[in-house]
Chain A
């Protein structure tokens, strides 16, 4: 049967400054908000287990220096710092398991 007019939604979507009266999908509503990447945070790109933490709090680190080794997906991965800086905080120690996206370590930018 023809869809009745009063079944229409009251939600809105803006495209090119025009506001359209329309339904929003579940998937659209559940979309992930974008976040600015922060290279001072060393985040697990895979879930895994910490093998070895190679630095201590307060240590100076150089870009591309390996700071943590962890095991994930049957492989040992070397995690490197992407900045020159200092270790601000370490949140894991050897043997800890962590999930994807977990912050393993935080660095401070070296102020020149």
Chain B
């Protein structure tokens, strides 16, 4: 056969494989409002930059008539491509081929691209759209999952790992996304659960729809398993690209520096916060008032909204922001917000992203449910994460910093590099009302007019302690600053921290309060 004919044959073979599960299956995929695996990959990478590998891989299952079945690409597309001219590794499960089910060769393709991403120090993007284990392949399918989970864990903190849930992702399969850094979900399309509605109905007798059990909204608002929620696949891919713009390609690099930009002048930092510490405001406006172009990219916006985390740039450099949100639950720390903050700190620390923390919280959320849910253990994660982090750590205390919350939110005591406080800061062991009720209990009780006495004592306490100067007199606060100076000081603090060296004792690893 002449070479030309052989090339023709190659083209034919590729064409066949590129059809995935065939026209009918593709039609079904599109009817569900979903894109095909190939369309998804193309939508993420720069035009014509995708190179596929292992296209001709075939499964080797023999039982249950599997030997008579050809599964194109074994139900997954793997390869490398460019995102904004920077290399990424991608795999995309193809639901049109045997429901994207994971067999041993399918898994081997995924682990091969994972190994490649780790070796080449580039991000891994995994698009999940699969009915789960390929039952016909039995324990080999489980082995495949195990091999993926192992690599997710080993790569964690070395290269960024992004999971995109664009279809079902159920049973053991959910643990791969759970082990990765960021999980993207799309409304009405993503479904994640350990046991599905049918099993729950049989075993527990409770009826629930897939959407209510593990839809995109549930994981974005209630469980916190997802980090980014999108209304469509196209929006989701834009979010992925935006995230990639903020983060470095591996733990040995720093994030790309861009041209510095001034914040939008509409965000007047001195006019956002009400002076009454009991009145709310949106702390994200404070962040927007200090970041380049007022472009703040929030992570887990809908979950545990009493804390805010996300990325922004200061003078061109990527910064991870952590803030209490007085607008929601008064900005208290609780089980969920502690988990949210702690994991984000560890992410930023692993990838050399400096941390800026805005503090305004009354303390921890009181409640039996919180105590019984282990708020002690969860709250401890924040202390652990800040203490352990060696990236530049800067705090700005805006208003309330009471009690344990003050210590936890990147205080000097956890080795913050810079602690700034606005003149409105109240750094104290607790709020004036609570403190006065304890310290002056006798005076209040024995007074002719206890309420009048209480108000008097609360004011007395406020005057003396509800300010930044007591903490500043001890050197716990480095500088008391005007709100309008905030960005200038952040730029200064970050630029004098570029050569920060901080050693922690050598250890195999710590034992964080997971």
Q: Chain A: residues with CB nearer than 8 A to chain B?
A: 1-3, 5, 8-9, 13-28, 31-32, 34, 47, 73, 97, 99-100
Pairs A–B under 8 Å by Cβ, sample size 30 = A2-B288, A5-B274, A8-B279, A13-B330, A13-B332, A15-B330, A15-B332, A15-B362, A15-B365, A15-B431, A16-B430, A16-B431, A17-B431, A17-B433, A17-B434, A18-B433, A18-B434, A20-B278, A20-B280, A22-B280, A24-B329, A25-B328, A26-B222, A28-B329, A31-B369, A34-B368, A47-B205, A73-B203, A99-B204, A99-B205
Query: Is the CB–CB distance between A34 and B372 below 8 Å?
Result: yes
Knowing A13-B332, A20-B326, A21-B280 are in contact, say whether A1-B266 is a contact too (CB < 8 A).
yes
Which chain A residues border B430 with CB–CB below 8 Å? 16
For B431, give the chain A residue with the smallest CB separation. A18
Q: Are B363 and A16 in contact (CB under 8 A)?
A: yes
Query: Is B367 in the interface zone, CB < 8 Å from A?
Result: yes
**Assembly CA distance A17 to B430 (angstroms):** 10
Min CB distance, A12 to chain B, in Å? 9
Least CB distance, A36 to chain B, in whole angstroms: 11
Q: How far in angstroms is the closest Cβ of chain A from B271?
A: 9
**Per-residue contact bits, chain B 217-257, to A (CB 8 Å; 1 contact, 0 not):** 00001100000000000000000000000000000000000
Chain B residues within 8 Å of A, Cβ to Cβ: 203-206, 221-222, 266-268, 272, 274, 277-282, 284-285, 288, 305-306, 326-332, 336, 362-369, 372, 402-403, 430-435, 437
Q: Are A18 and B205 in contact (CB under 8 A)?
A: no
Return the chain A residue nearest B276 by Cβ.
A21
Give the docked Cα–Cα distance between A99 and B206 (Å).
8
Distance in angstroms from B290 CB to nearest chain A CB is: 14
CA distance A97 to B206 in the complex (A): 13
Q: Is the interface of B mostly helix, strand, loop or mixed?
A: loop
Q: Determine which of B305, B434, B437 lies in contact with A25 in the assembled complex, contact meaning CB atoms within 8 Å.
A: B305
* Cα separation A2 to B369 with both chains bound (whole Å): 34
- Are the CB atoms of B282 and A3 closer together than 8 Å? yes
Known: A9-B280, A16-B362, A23-B280. 9 other contacts (CB 8 A): A13-B329, A16-B402, A16-B431, A18-B434, A22-B280, A22-B330, A23-B329, A25-B328, A27-B222
Note all chain B residues with C-beta closer than 8 A to A9: 280, 327
Of all chain A residues, the one with the shortest Cβ separation from B371 is: A34
Beta-carbon nearest neighbor of A24 in chain B: B329
Asked whether, in the complex, the Cβ of A22 is within 8 Å of the Cβ of B327, the reply is yes
Do B204 and A47 have beta carbons less than 8 Å apart? yes
Closest to B363 in A: A15
Complex interface: chain A residues within 8 A of B288 (CB): 2
Cβ of B266 and Cβ of A100 under 8 Å apart?
no
A71 to B324, alpha carbons, bound, how many Å?
47
* A18 CA to B466 CA, complexed, in Å: 14
Those 8 A-B pairs whose CB atoms lie nearest each other, nearest first: A16-B434, A20-B330, A17-B433, A3-B282, A18-B431, A34-B368, A15-B362, A22-B330
Q: Across the interface, name the chain B residue whose C-beta is closest to A9.
A: B280
Q: Which single residue of chain A is at the shortest CB-CB distance from B326?
A: A22
Closest chain A residue, CB of each to CB of B403: A16
Q: How far is the CA of A25 from the CA of B288 in the complex (A)?
A: 23
Chain A hits for B432, CB < 8 A: 18
Say whether B433 contacts A3, CB under 8 Å.
no
Give Cα distance in the complex from A3 to B403, angstroms: 29
Q: How distant is the Cα of A26 from the Cα of B268 in the complex, in angstroms? A: 31
CA distance A32 to B372 in the complex (A): 11
A73 CB contacts on chain B under 8 angstroms: 203
- A33–B264 Cα distance when bound, in Å, is 45
Q: Pick the residue among B204, B221, B326, B372 that contacts A26 (CB under 8 A).
A: B221
Cα A32 to Cα B369 with chains together (Å): 7
* Contact between chains at B203 and A22 (CB < 8 Å): no
CB distance from A11 to the nearest CB of B (A): 10
Contact, CB under 8 Å: A3 / B330? no
* Chain B residues with CB below 8 A from A22, complex form: 280, 326-331
Which chain A residue has the least Cβ–Cβ distance from B224? A27
**In the complex the two chains form, is B306's CB within 8 Å of A21's CB?**
no
Are A2 and B329 in contact, CB atoms less than 8 angstroms apart?
Answer: no
Residues from chain A with Cβ under 8 Å of B305 in the complex: 23, 25
Q: How far is the CA of A73 from the CA of B200 in the complex (A)?
A: 11
**Which of B274, B280, B331, B367 is the most central at the interface, judged by chain A CB atoms within 10 Å of its CB?**
B280
* Complex contact A3–B285 (CB within 8 A): yes
How many angstroms between the C-alpha atoms of A81 and B435 in the bound complex?
46
CA distance A30 to B40 in the complex (A): 37
Q: How far is the CA of A17 from the CA of B267 in the complex (A)?
A: 33
CB of B282 within 8 A of CB of A15, answer: no
Which chain A residues border B433 with CB–CB below 8 Å? 16-18
**Which residues on the B side are within 8 Å of A15 (C-beta)?**
330, 332, 362-366, 431
Residues of B within 8 A of A18 (CB): 277-278, 362, 431-434
Residues of A within 8 A of B221 (CB): 26-27
Chain A min CB distance to B371 (Å)? 9
Select one of A17, A20, A21, A99 contacting B437, CB under 8 A: A17
- Smallest Cβ distance from B301 to chain A, in angstroms? 13
**CB nearest neighbor in A for B361:** A15
Bound complex: CA of A20 vs CA of B140, how far in Å?
A: 56
Can you name the residue of chain A whose Cβ is closest to the Cβ of B369? Answer: A31
**Do A97 and B205 touch across chains, with their CB atoms under 8 A apart?**
yes
Residue of A at shortest CB range from B306? A25
Cβ–Cβ contact A25 & B327, under 8 A: no
Q: How far is the CB of A91 from chain B (nearest CB, A)?
A: 16
Closest residue of chain A to B432 (Cβ to Cβ) is: A18
Residues of chain B within 8 A (CB-CB) of A21 are: 278-280
Residues from chain A with Cβ under 8 Å of B278 in the complex: 18-21
Q: Which residues of chain A have C-beta atoms less than 8 A from B274's C-beta?
A: 5
A99 CA to B201 CA, complexed, in Å: 10
